[in-house]
């Protein structure tokens, strides 16, 4: 029997009925979002907007701003934002958005230092308010972090029974664009409590909708044609919303939201009854008006035969692995309900008539405290990997046990490097670490002046790594002493490439650099693209035989002459064509292979620049390939996707050989190989082990 580590507990989510109302006394507050200080005249627009709010709604006790408070998340922008808030006399609560952490030199460290905590709770007149950070480091997507979900559960469960709570964060959940990978986990958690209202942003509009008895309301921005804000007037029985437009006297009143969240006991639990058959029965006295399902954001359909509570889905359209099915059911009273369930599929074998073979495609899994955005590294029989819970782990792959771990106190995005019995990594605390690979004893730790989002390169007795303090460092691999540091104009996220004593790297300053690896002296630098926003700053460069491959954020792939930085060739995508942008290249022979955000794995000839390899991993619906760099073994290429899948591509035929679903959870990491197994970290708070050759093709 296979052993399961950090086993998935409780395949189907559980249901809890709504809670009774708690006593609330009247008050008023304001909600705005997406002020984007740092872009155009947005700082002045924020000041003006806050003054108008003070004048128009003097009774408001506080203001909630749900993210994207800056445009690029720099320290200067965050400082300007805090200065702009002085235009109001009211208390302001802020949460980060994707713009505050995606391009920031500090991740979210400076937000917490300059603006305030990224998770906060406060009580006001009988209501508990909780602000959360759902933005992701260096990504545009959203995720309910494992550690914050534990805090949320604790802060809701500590309330008196029936006491209401209002939650705020940036991205809107349950959106057709799938900003989240685990928003159903959030929906299931809050159904146990009286959460009548959730505030969000991101869309610069006033969208409002309701699921499971909870209303979701998007906040307006302080700039643009639709600029405005919501005023929320709270009474003991209801929360009344009003939309105000800046510079206009008209007020748009909205339907009141009951203070006691509508009970959500109409549908029962969604569960798997048998292979391909699911059950969702309405409670006594209710009937379904309609019901639809979606599996892995891919397969959709209508849940028929609901009078029996059972419906069938064609799971043969799915790859093997773990899947999430979400049912949206509308009852006769007009309320919409969400139910979710996870289920596993295995391949059909030649000697089995059952759809589910007893051999699983997930052979082991390890639980993480938060999601994983760091690639695992395998050395011998040990896997080394960091995660967003701050723990750096060494896992014995023979036994599955944790060999040792180290608390780095902050998120780790670095891919560890193992050389001569030592393992090197870095974290957002700004430190580079060297541990004894066998015992985990810290050998040295060297600090930089800002967070580190990059991975180290270890070669010739040196550790080369970029930092959020705008410098590329060379440190002694033996002692950690800083040998030199080279100043760029913005932060450095990528890992440099090294050939013939020269380092090649880009930064978020739109320059691409060549630096002498021994002295740290500049050899040459060339502009990367047309603007800073299109810098060559995310994909790691690759170098071979005097040719340097780098990718810019206009989806162009460039090959430079290593001697002077001149262009040897450039592949510029056609209009509206999305290409490589985040996934780093892997070189095999004269070919460079990368993932692209349009869901294609592409390959370019390093000599000619010809794009001679192009595979759409999921033609039926785009499955974006962001940061996951390909792993190539023999004639097979392996890569992870935003959709939470791992793909195997047969290189000679340019076809997908198979795929495995690992739901729910974005995959931004590249896989590592251990014998006949693949290991990959997921934002689903897990590291998965799967066979390199599953039972049958996709």
302 and 158 in a common domain: no
pLDDT band at 20 (very low <50, low <70, confident <90, very high): very low
CB 489 within 8 A of CB 449: no
The residue out of 213, 231, 258 marking a domain boundary is: 258
pLDDT at residue 605 is higher than 60:
yes
93 and 209 in a common domain: yes
Residue 193 falls inside a structural domain = yes
> 78: domain range?
30-258
CB 560 within 8 A of CB 518: no
Q: Name the least confident of 18-22, 351-355, 389-393.
A: 351-355
Q: SS3 for 219?
A: coil
283 and 231 in a common domain: no
Maximum distance among all alpha carbons in the chain? 78
Which residues, in sequence order, are CB contacts of 313 under 8 Å at separation 6+? 276, 278, 293, 295, 299, 301, 325
> The tokens of 225 are what?
């044609």
Residue 313 has a pLDDT of 87
Q: DSSP string of 278-316?
A: EE-PBPTT--EEEEEEEETTTEEEE---TTTTEEE--GG
CB 497 within 8 A of CB 514: no
Residue 326 falls inside a structural domain = yes
Taking each continuous run of H as one helix and of E as one strand, the counts in the chain are 6, 52
Predicted confidence (pLDDT) per residue in 105-160, tens digit: 999 999 999 999 999 999 999 999 999 999 999 999 999 999 999 999 999 999 99
Predicted confidence (pLDDT) per residue in 323-342, tens digit: 999 999 888 788 899 999 99
pLDDT at residue 13 is higher than 90:
no
279 and 238 in a common domain: no
Residue 158 falls inside a structural domain = yes
Average pLDDT, the chain: 91
The residue out of 345, 363, 394 marking a domain boundary is: 345
254 and 109 in a common domain: yes
pLDDT band at 427 (very low <50, low <70, confident <90, very high): very high
354-364: average pLDDT: 58
Residue 267 has a pLDDT of 72
Predicted confidence (pLDDT) per residue in 232-243, tens digit: 999 999 999 999
pLDDT band at 694 (very low <50, low <70, confident <90, very high): low
Q: DSSP string of 162-193?
A: T--EEEE-SSPTT-TT--BSSHHHHHHHHTTS
Residue 1 has a pLDDT of 28
pLDDT at residue 444 is higher than 60:
yes
In whole angstroms, how far apart are CA 323 and each of 115, 298, 313, 404, 419?
39, 10, 12, 31, 38
Residue 596 to residue 637: CA distance in whole angstroms: 14
pLDDT band at 306 (very low <50, low <70, confident <90, very high): low
> The tokens of 436 are what?
């004894």
Using CB atoms within 10 Å of the CB of residue 669, give its burial: 0 to 12 exposed, 13 to 18 middle, 19+ buried: buried
Q: SS3 for 640?
A: strand
Residue 662 to residue 687: CA distance in whole angstroms: 10
Which residues, in sequence order, are CB contacts of 354 under 8 Å at separation 6+? 275, 348
Residue 307 falls inside a structural domain = yes
Residue 265 has a pLDDT of 63
Residue 171 has a pLDDT of 98
Alpha carbons within 13 angstroms on the beta-carbon side of residue 24 total 27
Residue 413 falls inside a structural domain = no
Residue 695 has a pLDDT of 41
192-202: average pLDDT: 96
pLDDT at residue 639 is higher than 80:
yes
Residue 352 has a pLDDT of 33
**Radius of gyration of the chain, Cα coordinates, nearest whole angstrom:** 26
Tell me the residue ranges of DSSP E strands in 573-663: 586-588, 591-595, 600-605, 611-616, 631-633, 636-640, 645-650, 655-662
CB 231 within 8 A of CB 217: no
> The tokens of 97 are what?
């958005």
pLDDT at residue 22 is higher than 90:
no
Percentage, residues of the chain above pLDDT 90: 81
307 and 163 in a common domain: no
Q: Name the least confident of 170-184, 345-359, 588-602.
A: 345-359
Using CB atoms within 10 Å of the CB of residue 160, give its burial: 0 to 12 exposed, 13 to 18 middle, 19+ buried: exposed
174 and 60 in a common domain: yes
pLDDT at residue 443 is higher than 90:
yes
pLDDT band at 347 (very low <50, low <70, confident <90, very high): low
CATH number for the domain that contains residue 86: 3.60.21.10
Cis peptide before 514 (omega within 30 of 0): no
Q: Which of 616, 670, 688 is nearest to 365 (CA)?
A: 688
> The tokens of 195 are what?
């959460």
Residue 264 has a pLDDT of 62
Q: Name the least confident of 36-40, 275-279, 541-545.
A: 275-279
pLDDT band at 575 (very low <50, low <70, confident <90, very high): confident
3-state helix, strand, coil in the chain (%, to 5): 10, 40, 50
Listed as own residue / partner, the contacts of 119-122 with beta carbons closer than 8 Å and 24 or more positions apart are: 119/148, 119/151, 120/93, 121/155, 122/93
Q: Name the least confident of 55-69, 279-293, 351-365.
A: 351-365
Residue 499 to residue 587: CA distance in whole angstroms: 14
pLDDT at residue 358 is higher than 60:
no
> The tokens of 5 are what?
């580590």
Q: Name the least confident of 254-258, 282-286, 442-446, 455-459.
A: 282-286
Other C-beta atoms within 10 Å of 192: how many?
Answer: 17
Residue 309 gets the label, from left (phi > 0), alpha (psi -120 to 50) or beta, of left
pLDDT at residue 359 is higher than 50:
no
Question: What pTM was estimated for this model as a whole?
Answer: 0.93
- Bridge partners (DSSP) listed for residue 328: 292, 338
197-200/165-168 β-pairing: parallel
Q: Name the least confident of 227-241, 264-278, 421-435, 556-570.
A: 264-278
Residue 266 has a pLDDT of 66
Q: Which of 117, 129, 137, 21 is nearest to 73 (CA)?
A: 137
pLDDT at residue 400 is higher than 80:
yes
Residue 418 falls inside a structural domain = no
> The tokens of 482 are what?
């800083």
Predicted confidence (pLDDT) per residue in 481-537, tens digit: 999 999 999 999 999 999 999 999 999 999 999 999 999 999 999 999 989 989 999
The residue out of 199, 233, 258 marking a domain boundary is: 258
CB 604 within 8 A of CB 592: yes
241 and 122 in a common domain: yes
Q: Which of 457, 467, 463 is nearest to 427 (CA)?
A: 467
CB 571 within 8 A of CB 557: yes
91-95/62-66 β-pairing: parallel
285 and 248 in a common domain: no
Residue 414 has a pLDDT of 98
Residue with tokens 């996220």: 493
pLDDT at residue 314 is higher than 90:
no
* Number of structural domains in the chain: 3
CB 470 within 8 A of CB 505: no
Residue 264 falls inside a structural domain = no
Alpha carbons within 13 angstroms on the beta-carbon side of residue 686 total 23
CATH number for the domain that contains residue 598: 2.40.128.630
Residue 8 has a pLDDT of 31
Q: Which of 148, 54, 132 is nearest to 685 (CA)?
A: 148
122 and 245 in a common domain: yes
Q: What is the Cα 162 distance to its own chain's centre?
A: 33
199 and 286 in a common domain: no
Residue 478 falls inside a structural domain = no
Residue 270 to residue 15: CA distance in whole angstroms: 9
150 and 87 in a common domain: yes
CB 641 within 8 A of CB 625: yes
pLDDT band at 263 (very low <50, low <70, confident <90, very high): low
Residue 517 has a pLDDT of 98
CATH number for the domain that contains residue 292: 2.60.40.1220
């Amino acid at each position: 029997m296979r052993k399961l580590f950090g086993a998935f507990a409780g395949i189907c989510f559980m249901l809890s009925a709504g809670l009774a109302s708690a006593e609330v006394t009247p008050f008023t507050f304001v909600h705005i979002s997406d002020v984007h200080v740092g872009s155009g005249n947005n700082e002045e627009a924020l000041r003006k907007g806050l003054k108008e709010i003070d004048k128009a709604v003097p009774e408001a006790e506080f203001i909630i701003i749900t993210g994207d408070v800056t445009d690029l998340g720099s320290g200067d922008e965050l400082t300007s934002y805090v200065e702009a808030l002085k235009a109001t006399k009211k208390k302001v609560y802020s949460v980060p958005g994707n713009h505050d952490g995606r391009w920031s030199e500090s991740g979210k460290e400076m937000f917490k230092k300059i603006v305030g905590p990224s998770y906060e709770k406060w009580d006001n007149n009988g209501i508990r308010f909780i602000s959360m950070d759902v933005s992701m480091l260096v990504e545009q997507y959203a995720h309910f972090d494992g550690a914050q979900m534990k805090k949320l559960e604790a802060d809701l469960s500590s309330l008196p029974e029936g006491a209401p709570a209002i939650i705020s964060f940036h991205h809107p959940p349950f959106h057709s664009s799938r900003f989240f990978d685990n928003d159903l986990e959030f929906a299931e958690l809050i159904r146990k409590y009286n959460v009548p209202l959730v505030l969000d942003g991101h869309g610069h509009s006033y969208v409002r909708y309701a699921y499971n008895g909870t209303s979701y309301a998007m906040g307006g921005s302080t700039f643009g044609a639709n600029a405005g804000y919501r005023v929320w007037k709270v009474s003991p029985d209801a929360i009344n919303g009003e939309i105000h437009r800046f510079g206009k006297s008209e007020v748009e009143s909205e339907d009141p939201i009951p203070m006691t969240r509508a009970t959500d006991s109409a549908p029962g639990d969604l569960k798997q009854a048998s292979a391909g058959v699911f059950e969702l029965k309405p409670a006594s006295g209710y009937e379904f008006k309609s019901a639809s399902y979606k599996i892995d954001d891919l397969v959709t359909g209508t849940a028929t035969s609901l009078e029996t509570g059972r419906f069938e889905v064609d799971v043969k359209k799915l790859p093997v692995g773990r899947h999430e099915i979400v049912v949206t059911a509308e009852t006769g009273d007009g309320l919409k309900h969400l139910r979710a369930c996870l289920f596993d599929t295995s391949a059909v074998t030649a000697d089995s008539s059952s759809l589910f073979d007893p051999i699983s495609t997930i052979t082991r899994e390890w639980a993480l405290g938060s999601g994983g955005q760091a690639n695992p590294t395998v050395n011998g029989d040990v896997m080394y990997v960091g995660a967003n819970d701050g723990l750096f782990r060494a896992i014995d792959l023979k036994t599955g046990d944790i060999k040792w771990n180290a608390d780095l106190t902050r998120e780790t995005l670095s891919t560890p490097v193992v050389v001569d019995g030592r393992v090197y990594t870095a974290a957002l605390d700004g430190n580079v670490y060297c541990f004894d690979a066998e015992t985990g004893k810290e050998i040295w730790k060297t600090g930089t002046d800002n967070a580190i989002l990059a991975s180290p390169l270890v070669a010739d007795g040196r550790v080369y790594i970029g930092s959020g303090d705008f410098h590329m460092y060379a440190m002694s691999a033996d002692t950690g002493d800083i040998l030199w540091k080279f100043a760029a104009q913005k932060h450095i996220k990528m890992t440099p490439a090294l050939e013939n004593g020269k380092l090649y790297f880009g930064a978020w300053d739109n320059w691409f650099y060549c630096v002498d690896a021994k002295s740290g002296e500049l050899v040459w630098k060339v502009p990367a693209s047309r603007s800073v926003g299109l810098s060559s700053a995310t994909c790691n460069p690759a170098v071979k035989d005097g040719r340097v491959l780098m990718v810019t954020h206009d989806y162009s792939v460039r090959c430079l002459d290593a001697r002077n930085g001149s262009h040897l060739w450039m592949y510029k995508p056609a209009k509206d064509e999305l290409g490589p942008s985040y996934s780093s290249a892997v070189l095999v022979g004269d070919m460079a292979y990368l993932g692209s955000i349009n869901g294609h794995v592409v390959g370019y000839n390093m000599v000619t620049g010809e794009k001679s390899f192009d595979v759409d991993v999921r033609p039926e619906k785009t499955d974006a390939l962001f940061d996951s760099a390909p792993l190539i073994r023999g004639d097979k290429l392996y890569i992870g996707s935003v959709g939470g899948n791992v793909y195997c591509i047969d290189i000679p035929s340019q076809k997908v050989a198979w795929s495995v679903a690992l739901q729910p959870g974005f995959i931004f990491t590249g896989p590592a190989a251990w014998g006949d197994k693949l290991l990959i970290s997921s934002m689903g708070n897990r590291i998965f082990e799967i066979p390199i050759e599953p039972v049958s093709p996709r």
